[in-house]
Amino acid sequence: MMRLSRTNRTALAEWWWTVDRLTLLAIGLLISLGMVLTLAASPAVAMRLHYPPFHFVYKQLLFLLPSLMILVGVSLLTVKQIRRLAVFVFAGAFAAMILTLLVGPEMNGAHRWILIGPFALQPSEFIKPAFIVIAAWMFAEAHRLPGFPGTAVAVALYVMVISVLALQPDFGQLMLITMVFGAIFFMAGLSWVWIGSLGTAALAGLMAAYMLMPHVASRIDRFVNPAGGDTYQIDTALDAFHAGGIFGRGPGEGEVKQILPDAHTDFIFAVAAEEYGVLAGLLIIGLFAFIVMRTLSRAMEEQDLFIQYSSCGLVALFGLQALINMAVNVNLIPAKGMTLPFISYGGSSLFAVSLTMGMLLALTRRRAGSHVPMPSGWGAVA
């Protein structure tokens, strides 16, 4: 058996001693919890759909091996290779998103998927981390090379992405990308002109979505006035939290999975709380919070602005998606149809979040001379 000692110069040994092993451990715990909760939540859903009881469990296990390969394989890459990978993934995912508008099947009133044999692929999941890395790269280059139009390029790419998302439509992903892009823009030191322009555009887009998209208006109206619409899923999820209490009903004893159609995806957090209690929910929240805070701490020690911006952007993408999912489960925000990273069932989601965290682990690996105390000035992008 190969020993991964510090004197071992193989790529795997070097990776092991430079990667953030605590973040890697937290990711491993989330993946393990995801499989346990898929086993708890999915059999009831599978039987309602006339599948074998463990249909979704076996499929998630099938997705897990390539996801782990993506996670580890991408985390082995250099910073330059991460940038190149982001460009290739962005180009492929954007082309696939255009393809969904032309030949993608309509599911729940939207064209977000491409069918590949028995599998359905959601390209927008993959464009998120790629876009964040490229935008961070452009902002960093704009700071490093005065006169380089990095800000304009990043904004142009952002407009391209959200335009296609609006056409699908997928306003959950659109809002998530907008929030993360705004966070990176803020880090890079955006001017008041950009703040006003982007804020106005975001507000106008939200108003247009409310007026032109009935399903968007319906979700917002149900959230603002629960008595005026169907709030069955949210009410059932809240009942699950109440029934679970502190310690839960016990493994397999939950009832929410028997009646919620999305118990294994969008509402798996409610299943966890019902069967394993509020303590399980706090454990899940704690793991996400740990990954976010640890990554931000390591990113702030970096000299390279690209690594700072991209690491913070990727972990913001990861953390905000988790926050949105959990907030929907406890009725803090309108339903978004967004998965809980590493925990919800789904191949596209699992592959994409593995890509995201693989990029993050690669960027935050310890490199000689790269970590210094955070400089007082972050620079500004006009």
Q: Is the pLDDT of residue 375 over 50?
A: no
Higher-scoring residue by pLDDT: 57, 256: 57
pLDDT for the residue 154: 96
pLDDT for the residue 379: 41
Question: 3-state class of 302 per DSSP?
Answer: strand
Residue 254 belongs to what domain range?
20-363
pLDDT for the residue 203: 77
Q: Is residue 83 part of a domain?
A: yes
Q: Is residue 375 part of a domain?
A: no
Q: Is the pLDDT of residue 381 over 50?
A: no
The per-residue pLDDT for range 16-56, each reduced to its tens digit, is 889 999 999 999 999 999 999 999 999 999 999 999 999 99
Q: Is residue 368 part of a domain?
A: no
Higher-scoring residue by pLDDT: 97, 115: 97
Q: 70-74, 247-251, 359-363 — which is least confidently predicted? A: 247-251
Higher-scoring residue by pLDDT: 206, 360: 360
The per-residue pLDDT for range 219-275, each reduced to its tens digit, is 676 666 666 556 778 888 999 999 999 999 999 888 889 988 889 999 999 999 999
Q: Is the pLDDT of residue 277 over 80?
A: yes
Q: Is residue 85 part of a domain?
A: yes
Q: Is residue 267 part of a domain?
A: yes
Contact between 114 and 99 under an 8 Å Cβ cutoff? The reply is yes
Q: Is the pLDDT of residue 371 over 70?
A: no
Q: Is the pLDDT of residue 368 over 70?
A: no
* Percent share of the chain, pLDDT over 70: 88
Q: Is the peptide bond before 169 cis (omega within 30 degrees of 0)?
A: yes
pLDDT for the residue 108: 72
pLDDT for the residue 230: 61
Which pLDDT band holds residue 213 (cuts at 50, 70, 90)? low
Higher-scoring residue by pLDDT: 269, 10: 269
Which pLDDT band holds residue 126 (cuts at 50, 70, 90)? very high
Over its C-alpha atoms, the chain yields an Rg (Å, rounded) of 21
Which pLDDT band holds residue 133 (cuts at 50, 70, 90)? very high
Which pLDDT band holds residue 195 (cuts at 50, 70, 90)? low
Q: Record the tokens describing residue 149, joined without a space.
A: 């139009």
Q: Is residue 107 part of a domain?
A: yes
Contact between 55 and 47 under an 8 Å Cβ cutoff? The reply is no
Q: Is the pLDDT of residue 362 over 70?
A: yes
pLDDT for the residue 2: 52
Higher-scoring residue by pLDDT: 6, 83: 83
Average pLDDT over residues 129-149: 95
Rounded-to-integer distance, Cα 324 and Cα 332, Å: 9
Rounded-to-integer distance, Cα 356 and Cα 85, Å: 11
The per-residue pLDDT for range 307-356, each reduced to its tens digit, is 999 999 999 999 999 999 999 999 988 877 789 999 999 999 999 999 99
* Percent share of the chain, pLDDT over 90: 63
pLDDT for the residue 78: 95
pLDDT for the residue 294: 97
pLDDT for the residue 160: 96
Rounded-to-integer distance, Cα 42 and Cα 264, Å: 5
Which pLDDT band holds residue 116 (cuts at 50, 70, 90)? confident
Q: Is residue 134 part of a domain?
A: yes
pLDDT for the residue 107: 79
Q: Is residue 11 part of a domain?
A: no
Predicted structure pTM score:
0.90
pLDDT for the residue 376: 43
Q: Is the pLDDT of residue 359 over 60?
A: yes
DSSP string covering 101-167, please? HHHPPPBTTB---EEETTEEE-THHHHHHHHHHHHHHHHHHHHHSTT--HHHHHHHHHHHHHHHHHH
Domain count, the chain: 1
